[in-house]
Amino acid sequence: MSQQSHFSISFFYAFISLLFIHHVLASTRTTPQVQTFNTKPDIINPKLPPRTLSSSKKFEGSSDLVHLRYHMGPVLSSTPINIYLIWYGRWANSQKLLIKDFLNSISPTTVAAKPSVSEWWRTVSLYTDQTGANVSRSILIAGEYTDSAYSHGTGLTRLTIQQVIASAVKSAPFPVDHKNGIYLILTSQDVTMQDFCRAVCGFHYFTFPSMVGYTLPYAWVGNSGKQCPEVCAYPFAVPGYMGGGGPGALKSPNGDVGVDGMISVIGHELAELSSNPLVNAWYAGEDPTAPTEIGDLCEGLYGTGGGGGYTGQVMRDTQGKTFNMNGRRGRKFLVQWIWSPELKACSGPNALD
């Protein structure tokens, strides 16, 4: 999602609306209705929609009204894509390792069980530039920079985030890689960001030469663990006012609600940053300042039968942890699906049809 059109919380509001309708309908029944779905026991779909919706193989976000077009700009086709991580604030080593394990699971050489993160990224790699070059399937963590002193304060804005990048690239040996690099700024749970929780969970854009010295594609994602997990780490947290009227929070795959929630947002933003790095490549809509990108089209959708406030069918391990793809070192992740230019629908490696 671009700086103007962010990882929105529209899915959250759609979910609330559906929950209200469900509550009204349920109150008119004298006998509780239990809906079943004939799937393997390790597959779940919280609040599965009626079969008339979920039976369509292309229900998952597909629409003849979606006009995703290519606008002649570049995609990230270099092999590998160099990711430069900027850890802003205080991070536990376990949190850093979890995020890096996700990023290191993207490349096709990663050894992981299926469905895998690498298979998920394959959909992103289907996007090409005007020369026919695909988004690269290989990603490398090429550098890291830690700012645990909060050098720009604990309250950031869209402009000061570029100052954070400028500080990082001016600190040797953190390089300026304006040809093959992208910069991923991750803020800790005690750092606020302009519009965070209210309208954004993450965003991507590019730096201004006047502030950084170069035009560098970047993405920002914040840890919502203490600020708004019910918004930016859903479905691992749900609003308290929902009480017992809806599905409970799902158990996060790695035991850290804030970081597990971040990982799906990171995936969302990396997919869009790779296919639309300068906001002039792949997006729907006529306004480049508010584009609808390949992650936006599938926001909140994690499996078959999803959409309209439903997660879709995902997996649950013996400890009750919820996930839809596997990564390196036995890691499990829950990451949203991505719009496929081939299927003209949302796609993920855990699809059941």
Q: Is residue 327 part of a domain?
A: no
Which residues form the domain of 265? 70-294
Residue 340 lies in a domain: no
Residue 242: what pLDDT?
A: 59
- For residue 268, is it within any domain? yes
Query: Does 259 reside within a domain?
Result: yes
pLDDT value of position 179: 86
Per-residue model confidence as pLDDT tens digits over 117-175: 999 999 999 999 999 999 999 999 999 999 999 999 999 999 999 999 999 988 866 78
**Residue 103 counted as domain residue:** yes
Which segments of the chain have a pLDDT < 70?
Answer: 1-41, 45-65, 172-173, 241-247
- In angstroms, rounded to a whole number, what is the distance separating the alpha carbons of residues 289 and 5? 7
For every residue of 222-287, DSSP letters joined together read E--TTT-HHHHSTTS---GGGTTSSPPPPBPTTS-HHHHHHHHHHHHHHHHHHH-TTSSSEEESS-
Which residues 6+ apart lie within 8 Å of 132 measured at CB?
Answer: none
Please count the structural domains in the chain: 1
Residue 261 lies in a domain: yes
Nearest CA-CA partner of 298 in 260, 337, 324, 329: 337
Closest by alpha carbon to 295, among 326, 325, 274? Answer: 274
Among residues 312, 343, 348, 317, which one has the least CA distance to residue 330?
317
Q: Which helix (H) or strand (E) holds 112?
A: none
> pTM to 2 decimals?
0.84
- Kindly state whether residue 54 falls inside one of the protein's structural domains: no
Q: Is residue 180 part of a domain?
A: yes
pLDDT at site 256: 98
